[in-house]
Amino acid sequence: SDPDLVARATAAKAALGSRVFVLGHHYQRDEVIQFADVTGDSFKLARDAAARPDAEFIVFCGVHFMAESADILTAPEQKVILPDLAAGCSMADMARLAQVEDAWAALTEAGVADQVVPVTYMNSSADIKAFCGKHDGAVCTSSNADVALEWAFAQKPDAKVLFLPDQHLGRNTAVLQMGIALDECVVWDPRQPNGGLTVEQLRDAKMILWKGHCSVHGRFSPDVIDELRAKVPDLNVLVHPECQHEVVLKADLVGSTEFIIKQIEKAPAGSSWAIGTELNLVKRLADAHPELNIMFLDRNVCYCSTMNRIDLPHLVWTLESLVNGEVPNVIEVDPDTEHWAKVALDRMLALPG
Ligand code: 13P
Ligand code: SF4
């Protein structure tokens, strides 16, 4: 990275001292990660944000929904800052509150809403988390989706889960970790009347999966796994649960970014790994582990374009603004949304494990 920008970021961060705390998601660029006080997956970062009540400014190097969650979990006087406000998440954008409210009205009409526990993936806007909080549901992340589903199914007799917004994480967790049959999972398409489902389908389903996906992880294909296995002996395939079910079925290991890192850290020297997650992380793991044969599970380059919006120029601008007494790009969730979203987040944080 540009040495002048590195020097400016270093100086600004030193000038701010303990007033600033920089969080970096594992999908951030190397040039940004080098300035993170902590790195993590979305679950770890949500906890880490709450663990620094003394920091005046939390600079969140990640995407918008993560900064919202940090705002909800930190003290009111702490300011959470997103270095580029255009760093959103296409998956989070696939579930809008008005669409989810329409779906709930249809579930009520079908006579099943009383059985439904809504669970939203962390990768959703604060108002969707608040919706889950209000309707006795919870948030989950890719680190704890199984425990969250277990919790949800124990909330009501004959419970069903409305899982938002990632159909793949919902399906993979339900089928592979909870023993729910594939045909007990139905997909609610918000663009179709009644989600494209009949009342009978809704009554029979255990999992109602929102039709959302990650534009990065959704690209990995089972064919590439077959091709690589044919070429590389003893290949270990390690993927994120946001990948399609067919990909996860062919993988050896599945887990959140934090899980992926742990597997690589304990891998025996000389072993081969094809990793299906965002490319910044895969490259960083390959650089840090020259003793392993690490490859990317896609023929093409595939970064998360919105994660990549946070670059060193934006970080320098943010830190220097703070040094100059300006507080840019503050993410502030309105009090009512914050209250109910916190109810759903706290339910997740109280889960065992
Ligand atoms: P985790 O951080 O929970 O592994 O999720 C990956 C992701 O896509 C974050 O946007
Ligand atoms: Fe959203 Fe996928 Fe990017 Fe994560 S990797 S921020 S889920 S688009």
**Residue range 269-292: average pLDDT?**
98
Domain with CATH 3.40.50.10800 in the chain: 3-88+307-332, 92-214, 217-296
For residue 198, how many other CB atoms are within 10 A of its CB? 12
What's the whole-model pTM score?
0.96
- Which residues have CB under 8 Å from 313's CB, separation 6+? 5
Candidate CATH numbers 3.30.2090.10, 3.20.20.60, 2.160.10.10, 3.40.50.10800; the one for domain 3-88+307-332: 3.40.50.10800
Which atom of ligand 1 lies at the shortest distance from residue 122's CA? 3
Tell me: ipTM over 0.95.
yes
- Which residues have CB under 8 Å from 171's CB, separation 6+? 182, 185, 207, 209, 245
Q: Which fold has domain 92-214?
A: Rossmann fold (3.40.50)
- Strands across the sheet with 160-164, in order? 138-140, 116-121, 160-164, 207-210, 185-188
Q: Which of 276-280, 299-303, 332-336 has the lowest average pLDDT? A: 299-303
Q: 242 among the known binding-site residues?
A: yes
In CATH, what number does 217-296 get? Answer: 3.40.50.10800
Smallest CA-to-CA distance from 315 within 29, 38, 15 is with 29
Smallest CA-to-CA distance from 321 within 82, 86, 88 is with 82
- Residues near ligand 2 (Cβ within 6 A): 27, 63, 89-91, 123, 214-216, 278, 304, 306-307
Which atom of ligand 2 lies at the shortest distance from residue 214's CA? 2
pLDDT of residue 53: 84
- Which residues have CB under 8 Å from 170's CB, separation 6+? 121, 145, 161, 163, 185, 207, 209, 210
Ligand closest in space to the Cα of 24? 1
In angstroms, the first-to-last Cα distance of the chain is: 38
Whether the predicted pLDDT of 118 surpasses 80: yes
Whether the predicted pLDDT of 43 surpasses 90: no
